[in-house]
Amino acid sequence: MNALIYDRICQRLLRLFSAIAAGFFALCISVADAEQEQRTAALQVASGDLAAANALTKQIAALSPRVRTEEAARLAECAYVTVSQLRRQYRMFGTPIFNNFLVYHGIRKRGYCFQWAEDLLVALDALKLNSLELHWGESNVGNWRENNCIVVTARGQPFNRGIVLDCWRHFGHLRWTAVTSDEDPYVENQAYAQFVRARSAAATNRHVAFQTTIKANRKSDN
């Protein structure tokens, strides 16, 4: 009798544990699916930017026959999504110069032109592109008109054959054009691009958010 009762108890406990395990597994799957949906949603280009993102994809793909169309599309989509996210994070207000005033006085934590470019470079680098290269561009260095941007080229192409990706001058909205067609005379700064990448890698290795490691003063302070 005792043995029979013991067996029944064991069977009930086994069924109970099985039900708990199944429920826990289902919950994990549900959470994973939700996280995947959130990641997918985060990577979606806003409807108002779709036409511009498609146009940028075509321009990037046209840089060289060696450029992979899929990579051009991923870069264009990531650029628009990232700039949109940064615009909300930076709480862009007024003109670019006025926004700089807010950052300078500590009313905004970030929003200088080089900070836009830094964060955009890190986001685009994460795509691990093979047929495209990312460069740091700067113009009017050292005066109030200084601007920094990211320039994308086909792999192996010179800087001046690339496309400027700029967001600071346009109130936190991505604008792009050929380097040779831009109103500002951009030049490449390879050293600063290496610096941004090295700092990002170091922050990642320390499990520290990249943005918390960036000061909001001058580019030379970083």
Six token digits for residue 149: 């941007």
Looking at the structure, do residues 104 and 165 belong to the same domain, yes or no? yes
Contact 131, 62 (CB under 8 A): no
Six token digits for residue 135: 């460069």
Residue 24 lies in domain = 1-42
Task: Please count the structural domains in the chain.
Answer: 2
Looking at the structure, do residues 117 and 174 belong to the same domain, yes or no? yes
Looking at the structure, do residues 6 and 89 belong to the same domain, yes or no? no
Looking at the structure, do residues 64 and 15 belong to the same domain, yes or no? no
Band (12; pLDDT cuts 50, 70, 90): low
pLDDT in tens, 104-127: 898 988 989 999 999 999 999 999
**Kind and range of the H or E run holding 139:** strand 132-139
CA dist 180 and 163 (Å) reads 9
Of the candidates 183, 177, 170, 131, the one whose C-alpha atom is nearest the C-alpha of residue 150 is 177
Looking at the structure, do residues 23 and 115 belong to the same domain, yes or no? no
Q: Which residue has the higher pLDDT, 44 or 41?
A: 44
Looking at the structure, do residues 62 and 14 belong to the same domain, yes or no? no
DSSP label of 170: G
- For 187-214, what is the mean pLDDT? 77
Amino acid at 151: V
Six token digits for residue 63: 């840089």
pLDDT in tens, 64-117: 999 999 999 999 999 999 999 999 999 988 888 888 898 889 898 898 999 999
Looking at the structure, do residues 131 and 26 belong to the same domain, yes or no? no
Band (171; pLDDT cuts 50, 70, 90): confident
CA dist 112 and 149 (Å) reads 11
The reported pTM is 0.74
Looking at the structure, do residues 11 and 84 belong to the same domain, yes or no? no
Six token digits for residue 127: 């795509």
Looking at the structure, do residues 32 and 136 belong to the same domain, yes or no? no
Looking at the structure, do residues 171 and 200 belong to the same domain, yes or no? yes
Looking at the structure, do residues 182 and 163 belong to the same domain, yes or no? yes
